Each structure stands twice: as structure tokens, then as C-alpha cells.
Amino acid sequence: MYPDGYFTAGTQESYNLTGSNTNGGLYTGTLVLETQSATTFNSAQAIPVDDELSLTNTVNSTTFTLTAVEYFSTDSNLELLGYHSDQFVGDATPGTSSLSVIPQTASIGDSGSVGTYTFSNGDILTITWKLTQASGSNANLVMSTTATTSTGTTLLTEENSFVIDQDGNRQSVLIVLNAVSKGISLTVSGDKS
């Protein structure tokens, strides 16, 4: 479900985005994904993929940027070993939780777990995937993330839905970010540039 070369250092994907939030904000911006050289994460060799979402509110000219790094295993399983985000404290690691392999090929209707990860302050990330039908022979690769406190209170949910072709090449993205604790939902989408 990932395109050829996605985990090669220097590979970059960029998307031009527009959208709005539930407070009346109108947004333009970009999502940039870039694969970095292999490094060590949580005592294991890993492939880091940087994730930067930059948006400008065209109503009041305010801007914000959300950055994160996903760390994938260097073997053929390409398990998501952990996660770092400027929205949380420290790195998210699986601890004793088991990780699931994200398959390289899948059929419409397939779904599964990616893993459950815990930050140093106890906040928890749960990540899942599913493949749904898009137009023509394309599919939607939907990555869903839920962040909760250690006591189970939901902080935010995020759904990134990529339209992919049969080779996993991404064509566009739809991002729905729901900041539950703030009562705001943001939806942006756009084509790969």
C-alpha cells in the first residue's frame, strides 16, 4: 500500500491543501512527507518519515504548523516502531504492546491495527488502517489515530485518507482533525503536487 521508493531516504511527497474548521476559519497550506536516513529509535534501527502540516487561516492571517516523525522498522515488515509529535510529551513507544504489520498489498474492505503507543506523560496513541473504495480502480488508504489520556479521556482524533492507485501511488489526501478537548474540527484536502 506504499509506493515503490517511499522508504528511500530523500523521497518527498507534497500536497496543496484547502479547507475550513468549525469556527469559521478558512485555510490554505501544505502537507509535506519526507523520508530521512536510517537512525536509531528506542534502541532499534528505524526509517524516519517527517510529517509537516502547515496551514494559514485566510480569515485572520494566523498560521500554525504541526510536525511529527514516524519511525518504521528497516526490515520488510515496515512496522511503525514509534512516533514523535510536537503536540505531545516525548516519544511514543509501544512498550509491551504488540505491533502489527501494515501489508504491502490489500483488498478493498481490509483493515487492521498499526499499534498502540504511549508517551512519557502517559498519553496514548492508537493507530489503525483500512482500505475503502474510491473512484474507478483507485482506493482510499485511511489512517486513523486516536489520542487519549492515561485515564481514557479523548484528546484528539485524526483521519488521513489518501487516494491511491493499484501500485500504492498517492494522488490526493483528505485530513480530518478533531481537537476534542478544544471542541474544534478541521477538514482540509488537496492533490499531490
Model pLDDT for residues 12-55, shown as the tens digit of each residue: 999 999 999 999 999 999 999 999 999 999 999 999 999 999 99
Beta bridge partners of 159: 144, 176
Return the residue matching grid coordinates 474548521: 21
Q: What percent of the chain has pLDDT over 90?
A: 85
- Is the pLDDT reported for residue 80 higher than 90? yes
**Count of beta carbons in the 10 Å neighbourhood of residue 152:** 7
Instruction: Determine the 3-state secondary structure of 182 from DSSP.
Output: helix
CB within 8 A of 184, min separation 6: which ones?
Answer: 21, 22, 23, 178
Average pLDDT, the chain: 94
Element housing 167 (H / E): none
Q: Which of 113, 144, 142 is nearest to 1 (CA)?
A: 142
Query: What's the rounded mean pLDDT across residues 80-96?
Result: 88
DSSP state of 152: S
